[in-house]
Every structure is written in C-alpha cells, then in structure tokens.
Amino acid sequence: MSTNKQITVEGHQFEIVTEQTRAGWRAEVVNTVKTAFAFDPTFMSEEEAIAHASDALRSRDVSDFLG
C-alpha cells in the first residue's frame, strides 16, 4: 500500500510518497521534475514517515531536494 501527500515548501511543490513494507513504512520526496529522494530508515507508522519527510524538507536547504 502506498500514499501520496502534496506539500509546498518555500514555494516549491513536492510529493511525499509512503509505502508499507514488511519492515515498516518507507518515505521518499519527489520534486516537480520527478526526481525522488528516499530516506533510509523505516518507520513504525505512515504518519511517522510523513512527519520525518516533512521535517527534512522544512529543516534543510530546500535546494537539496530540487534535483
């Protein structure tokens, strides 16, 4: 099962894609040119995966995710 969540950071659109695996939830950030940035850890819940990706987008230089 996977879910997509739209988020805007500093005027840039991103999609947070989560996927449930046997090991837990995975998250990746996809920018408007469809470059994906995956996070290595797995999370206990989808909400935790989304929160981690959202926090990363907001706390780091957004240009790191623009491709």
Which residues in the chain come in under a pLDDT of 50? none
User: Of 56, 47, 53, which Cα lies nearest the Cα of 24?
Assistant: 47
- Say what the pTM is: 0.88
User: Of 33, 35, 38, 32, which Cα lies nearest the Cα of 53?
Assistant: 38
Give pLDDT, residue 24.
96
Give pLDDT, residue 40.
85
